[in-house]
Chains A and B, each alone.
Chain A
């Protein structure tokens, strides 16, 4: 084993804190950066800093944004009667690319997973229920909530948990059609598949 210099050890430690990155991968990433040109490393450092300084969460939909409310929530052209519920901000990007959905979003920031210790309190579920209830009966009452979680057990369980909480008159709760591969992630689904899944959504 090589003697590890303090800055190298520090970077390995920081990488290892990232999700899905174990100590081995953290070491590999660190060595990769050590071997890359200086300006490449600087761009990475700046991108990380900028993300933290300028990105916040929208107080309505909890998507990541530079302004609050976010560009989608404040866009008068969007259909306020439809809310698409997703696990991650990246899923919003994927769905926007399909161009099929014209409504608003709600980002849960995860899916329920007992194994990972993620329960209802850890997600933006109460906020979703409040958001829908508040507007009931008003001009921009929600007509449809689309639960667009990932097609895996965690996503499915999240749908099963949320759907009954939303049940109310004059509102449909739907979920994406199963065109999506089992065990897949929304953000990796191609635009065609995702578009079809949206169009073929079913009531829960």
Chain B
């Protein structure tokens, strides 16, 4: 699939933009802080109703925008037919729905202060019809790759869980629904555990929440495990190709002091490849009959009862999952060189891309935000070669020369300056 047209109103530094986009490799160049990443953020918002850079989409409303809302409006060409998606985020405004209507002008006293802004809202329309944000997922799929994705490898487990969830939510609406219900159950169950600890309720009350937790946790864990099994082969293939380029003159960012250490642990032979190992907090078997797995999960909850009550917290379940990246026996998160870690992040993203395409029968749109500057020449070439057949790649860079020449030859180049986008001559 690919974005045919992107229209923005009061989104970030774009007061008004109407941009027709071609298929293939689209390069947005321009100096820093001109609005390149904002374009990719807008596409992400239309695909998922979320932003990749902030947890509160209301920040996306252009500062000083008179209407207190930002609109992202896209037309997407898909194998299954075209789609029109509109996402409006509002940071304020008495016109937002749910706000009391203004009394008649006659009754209004101009001496009174204007009412403070309404609460934030997000509205989604698909082909003109209102939809819940949750129902947007999967209609337009995207894979985002940005420099911060190194955190997938070296960051906290929460960042790796977010990667799993973002991928699976785009592919399986049922996963997303289960996840959102799971969050509610977790919150109720944690509160109940604390109330039991305080003596306000009896431990018997847990049995209902144990049922719910098991019923939701098991399919979530199984989907995660299945995704990692399916993605491992493509990740390993990409990693082997990239890791083979690890020449040591890798983009040096001064964070390499431990390179000798990692060598002493045993520099992995690139041919040993990459393994994606799921590390669920619940270590019982996940295969087999779903009801039996859920029963075993529940039995574990009973064993853990004392501990959970003492901690006042949910001790097992997908919210505590992690995954590790192994090359041979080496945990690359801890012992890989920075170059290897970058290769893992990139391999994961490309594996995600293949997985989404295989599962949905359509290619996701790839958003590459400023990643070339982080990669050495060889990795840049490998990356762009790997994605050259995609329907659409939207790439931002401050330096068009960083795009490998053969890719640049067939790229569509746009210059971004101060919230305006023009095709390069």
- Contact partner of A157 among B107, B113, B187, B209, CB < 8 A? B209
Q: Does B103 lie within 8 Å of A35, measured CB to CB? A: yes
Hey, which chain B residues are within 8 Å of A197, CB to CB?
Answer: none
Chain A residues in the interface with B (C-beta under 8 A): 2, 22, 24-25, 27-29, 31-32, 34-37, 113-115, 117, 119-120, 153-154, 156-157, 160-161
Residues of chain B within 8 A (CB-CB) of A32 are 100, 102-103, 115
How far is it, in angstroms, between the C-alpha of A2 and the C-alpha of B116 when the chains are bound?
A: 11
Q: Give 28 pairs: A residue, B residue, CB < 8 Å, sorted on A.
A: A24-B118, A24-B119, A25-B119, A27-B116, A28-B99, A28-B115, A28-B118, A31-B113, A31-B114, A31-B115, A31-B116, A32-B102, A32-B103, A34-B112, A35-B109, A35-B112, A37-B103, A114-B189, A114-B194, A114-B195, A115-B187, A117-B195, A119-B195, A119-B200, A120-B201, A153-B181, A156-B208, A160-B208
* B114 CB contacts on chain A under 8 angstroms: 31
Q: How far is the CB of B107 from chain A (nearest CB, A)?
A: 5
Residues of A within 8 A of B192 (CB): 114
Chain A residues within an 8 Å CB radius of B118: 24, 28
Residues A27 and B188 in contact, CB atoms below 8 Å apart: no
Q: Report the minimal beta-carbon distance from A149 to chain B, rounded to whole angstroms.
A: 13
Q: Is the CB of B188 within 8 A of A153?
A: yes
By a CB distance below 8 angstroms, the chain A residues around B119 are 22, 24-25
**From A24, A36, A153, contact of B117 by CB (8 A):** A24
> B185 touching A153 by the CB < 8 A rule?
yes
Residue of A nearest to B119 (CB): A24
Is B108 an interface residue when CB atoms closer than 8 A count as contact? yes
B94 CB to nearest A CB, Å: 8
Q: Indicate if B205 sits at the interface (CB-CB under 8 A).
A: yes
Residues of A within 8 A of B200 (CB): 119
Contact B107 A37 (CB under 8 A): yes
Question: Which chain B residues (93-136) contact chain A, with CB distance < 8 Å?
Answer: 94, 99-100, 102-103, 107-109, 112-119
Query: Could you tell me the distance between the alpha carbons of A119 and B201 in the complex, rounded to whole angstroms?
Result: 7
- Interface size on B, as a range, is 20 to 34
| 3 cross-chain pairs, A with B, having the tightest CB-CB distances, nearest first | A114-B191, A114-B192, A31-B115
Q: Does B410 contact A (CB under 8 A)?
A: no
What distance in Å separates the Cβ of B186 from its nearest Cβ neighbour in chain A? 10
B residues near A34, Cβ cutoff 8 Å: 109, 112
Mask: chain B, 146-186; 1 = CB below 8 Å from A; 0 = not: 00000000000000000000000000000000000100110
B212 located at the interface, meaning its Cβ lies under 8 Å from any Cβ of chain A in the complex: yes
Are the CB atoms of A161 and B205 closer together than 8 Å?
yes
Give A113 to B191 CA distance when docked, in angstroms. Answer: 9
Query: How many angstroms between the C-alpha atoms of A161 and B188 in the bound complex?
Result: 15
**Chain B proximity of A10: nearest CB distance (Å):** 17
Contact of A35 among B107, B195, B208 (CB under 8 A): B107
Shortest C-beta distance, B91 to chain A (Å), equals 12
A31 close to B112 (CB less than 8 A)? yes
Q: Closest residue of chain B to A31, judged by CB?
A: B115
Chain B residues with CB below 8 A from A28, complex form = 94, 99-100, 115-116, 118
**Distance to closest chain A CB from B109 (angstroms):** 6
Does A35 contact B201, Cβ atoms closer than 8 Å? no
Question: In the complex, A157→B192 CA distance in Å?
Answer: 12
Contact residue among A2, A22, A35 (Cβ-Cβ distance under 8 Å from B108): A35
Report the nearest B residue to A121, measured CB to CB.
B200
Complex formed: what's the CA distance from A32 to B100 in Å?
7
On chain A, the residues within 8 Å of B115 by CB distance are: 27-28, 31-32
Closest to A26 in B: B116
Q: Which of A24, A37, A161 makes the CB contact (< 8 A) with B208?
A: A161
Residues of A within 8 A of B117 (CB): 24
Query: Residue on A with the closest CB to B113?
Result: A2
Contacts of B108 in A (CB 8 A): 35
Residue of A nearest to B191 (CB): A114
Chain B residues lying within 8 Å of A37, measured Cβ to Cβ, are 103, 107
CB distance from A23 to the nearest CB of B (A): 9
**15 extra interface residue pairs, beta carbon distance < 8 Å, beyond A27-B116, A157-B188:** A22-B119, A24-B119, A27-B115, A28-B115, A34-B109, A35-B102, A35-B109, A36-B107, A114-B189, A115-B191, A119-B201, A153-B184, A157-B209, A161-B205, A161-B208
User: What residues of B have a CB within 8 angstroms of the CB of A119 in the complex?
Assistant: 195, 200-201
A11 to chain B, nearest CB (A): 13
Closest B residue to A154 using CB positions: B188
